[in-house]
Amino acid sequence: MTPSSILMIAGLVGIFLAIMLSLTAVGVFDNEARGVSKSLAVLEAFSAAPPEMRKELEPSFNDRVVAPLLDRTLALGKKLTPSDHGERIRTKLEVAGNPPGWSIDRVISLKFVGFAVALIISMIVALLFGFGFAPMLAFCVIAAVLGYLAPNLYLYQKGYDRTQKIQKGMPDALDLLTISVESGLGFDAAISQVARNTEGPLSDEFARVLQEMQIGLGRGAALRALGDRTHVPELKGFVSAMVQADALGIPVAQVLRVQSREIRTKRRQRAEEQAQKVAVKILIPLIFCILPCLFIAVLGPAAIGIYEAFSGTLGP
């Protein structure tokens, strides 16, 4: 091949490459300018949007990180839990009032995440403090178990607090229910009055009973479900009495009057019981905290004087 042919081929290749580069550059620059203009337009529109719309368009940390993490750990969490564990979690959620955002799958995922996070953190802490193998193993096992049980402990505390509120609000709610029935309202209308005019978890439970009756569930079944959702003995007794009165045709007002009086009596007895326990509960802080300080304050100067007298440090 002659040098002129090589130059001709090189020139043609150069021209072709120049045309391709020109077309590519024009297209890239055009797309880049178009993309930059679109991005600027989106930023301007987002900055000019009202705060409510920004909250809807901008996902939260929970939606971006926490929810996908819990979804990925759900399958592994189900493998590590027994088959009937879901039903027990459902019962705990019902007693706790079904906290917002908490479900059976969420609890199972949180149990696994708590186990893994507590195990990793405990291992890091043990390595930083230079624990031996046996102490590090015991510390990591205890921390991992606590992390696994943390969701259960949270639900137990929520359920305990809710049970105490229901137990505290039972007498007033039953008094209002009794007055409403005796004034001529039906039992369902009286429950509606209690749900509207009271606050707290008991009001929510009565509102749920009304909703279940409105969707077709019988009154007895709705009341039994109310008793199953709580661990309050007084509420369970009230539900049993109302179901029996409904089945046997006993006047509801009379049953409510008796139930209200009994619950008032039980609350007074419970208060007296708690008052009787105060004397026993105060013994521990009295013996280990108050009495030693009292002995030091009373006998301390005398002990110092006796010590100085026997050591010969006192003057003539």
At 51 the pLDDT is: 59
Q: Distance (Å, rounded) from C-alpha 243 to C-alpha 222?
A: 10
Given a contact cutoff of 8 angstroms between Cβ atoms, the answer to whether 171 and 256 are in contact is no
- Count CB atoms within 10 A of the CB of residue 91: 15
Which domains are present in the chain? 164-268 (1.20.81)
d(C-alpha 75, C-alpha 52), whole Å: 35
Structure tokens at 17: 């490459």
Please count the other Cβ atoms lying within 10 Å of the Cβ belonging to residue 238: 24
The tens-digit pLDDT sequence of the chain (316 residues) is 455 555 555 555 555 555 555 544 444 444 444 544 555 555 555 555 555 555 555 556 555 555 565 566 556 666 666 666 777 888 888 888 888 878 887 888 888 888 888 888 988 888 888 888 888 888 888 998 898 889 889 999 998 999 888 888 888 888 888 888 888 888 888 888 888 888 888 888 888 888 888 888 888 888 888 888 888 888 888 888 888 887 887 888 888 888 888 888 888 888 888 888 888 888 888 888 888 888 888 888 888 888 878 776 544 4
CA distance 101 to 58: 19
Say how far apart CA 106 and CA 71 lie, in whole Å.
Answer: 8
Go through 179-206 and write b for each residue having 16 or more CB atoms within 10 A of its CB, e for each that does not. Answer: bbbeeeeebeebbbbbbeebeebbbbbb
The pLDDT score that the predictor gives to residue 23 is: 46
CA distance linking residue 187 with residue 219, whole number of Å:
10
Please count the other Cβ atoms lying within 10 Å of the Cβ belonging to residue 112.
23
Closest CA to 266 of 235, 308, 306: 235
Separation of alpha carbons 244 and 59, rounded Å? 52
State phi, psi for 190 to the nearest 5 degrees.
-65, -40
Contacts of 302 (CB under 8 A, 6+ apart): none
Helix/strand/coil (H/E/C) assignment for every residue in the chain: CCHHHHHHHHHHHHHHHHHHHHHHHHHHHHHHHHHHHHHHHHHHHHHHCCHHHHHHHCCCHHHHHHHHHHHHHHHHHHHHCCCCHHHHHHHHHHHCCCCCCCCHHHHHHHHHHHHHHHHHHHHHHHHHHCCCHHHHHHHHHHHHHHHHHHHHHHHHHHHHHHHHHHHHHHHHHHHHHHHHHHCCCCHHHHHHHHHHHCCCHHHHHHHHHHHHHHCCCCHHHHHHHHHHCCCCHHHHHHHHHHHHHHHHCCCHHHHHHHHHHHHHHHHHHHHHHHHHHHHHHCHHHHHHHHHHHHHHHHHHHHHHHHHHHHCCCCCC
Q: Model pTM? A: 0.65
Q: What is the pLDDT of residue 38?
A: 54
CB 144 within 8 A of CB 115: yes
8 Å CB contact between 114 and 96: no
Q: What is the reported pLDDT for 8?
A: 52
Instruction: Please report the pLDDT score of residue 36 as a whole number.
Output: 47
